[in-house]
Amino acid sequence: MSAAAHDAAPLAAVLLDLDGTLADTAGDLARAMDTLRAELGLPPMAPGALRPYVSQGARGMLAQGLDLRPDDARYVALRDRFLDLYAGCCASEAQLFEGFDQVLTGLRAGGLLVGIVTNKIERFAAPLLRTLGVSPDADCLITPDLLGKPKPDPEGVLLACSRLGVAPAQCVFVGDDRRDIEAGRAAGTRTAIAAWGYLPPGEDIHAWGADAIVAAPAELPALCQRWGAP
């Protein structure tokens, strides 16, 4: 999607990644990992050690928490145990990033649609969003359960656009991981990096090729207005 095509399409919808963009979920994931480590006779991890890797999902958690890769014979069993532990605490400490409740209200009041495109499976995403007061029944929630391929494939972004009834050029996809930006660009949306999120250490986010970098959720409405939001 060219810059000219973006400029010609007034914004109609905001698509959001979940972990590290809309919600701070690191505490619950760390709790599940520490419980798993205890079961394996290992000490707790240092506070915040997993935070930069949350957006990498279970694979990133197991790599950092247990030095475990998918080709390890124990990977599937320990991944499943980790997810079961997380299911029991996935909404214990999680919260929307500061100001996001007002941001969502303002975006909707201004006529923008809101969708969520996440690599978090529906088993966790739907109850988490309900607990946070962001009903997946009111918003468009796209999880990997609905897709052939997760992000960075654009399938989820395109499905969200279809369900919201808008063209990709009328959307911005906001995320804190390179895969979010790649998915949005491949789908033809504008893209914005959530600089408050779980950015990988040492990563040059300017190299991701996003249309914008947003320092805090409160800056999103102004960005949307610059892109022709109602």
For a pLDDT cut of 70, what percent of the chain falls above it?
95
Dig out the tokens for 119 from the structure.
Answer: 């690599």
The class (CATH top level) of 3-24+94-226 is alpha beta
Instruction: State the catalytic residue, choosing from 7, 19, 28, 80.
Output: 19
Distance CA 26, CA 189 (A): 28
Long-range contacts of 152-159 (CB under 8 A, 24+ apart): 152/178, 152/179, 152/180, 152/182, 152/183, 152/186, 153/183, 153/186, 154/183, 154/184, 154/186, 154/187, 154/188, 156/117, 156/183, 157/15, 157/117, 157/183, 157/184, 157/186, 157/187, 157/189, 158/187
Q: In the predicted model, what is the mean pLDDT of the chain?
A: 91
- pLDDT tens for residues 109-143? 999 999 999 999 998 999 999 999 987 666 799 99
**For the chain, domain boundaries:** 3-24+94-226, 26-87
Distance CA 91, CA 136 (A): 15
Interval 149-193: pLDDT, tens: 989 999 999 999 999 999 999 999 999 999 999 999 999 999 999
176 counts as catalytic: no
Strands (E), the chain: 13-16, 23-24, 95-96, 113-117, 140-142, 171-175, 190-194, 212-214
- Which pTM value belongs to this model? 0.90
Q: According to the model, what pLDDT value does residue 22 have?
A: 96
Is 19 a known active-site residue? yes
Q: Which one is catalytic: 17, 24, 176, 180?
A: 17
The conformation of residue 25, written as its DSSP 8-state character, comes to: -
* CA distance linking residue 199 with residue 205, whole number of Å: 8
Q: Phi then psi for 93, rounded to 5 degrees?
A: -110, -15
- pLDDT at position 72 over 90: yes
pLDDT-based confidence at 27, cuts 50/70/90?
Answer: very high
Closest CA to 185 of 161, 162, 166, 210: 210
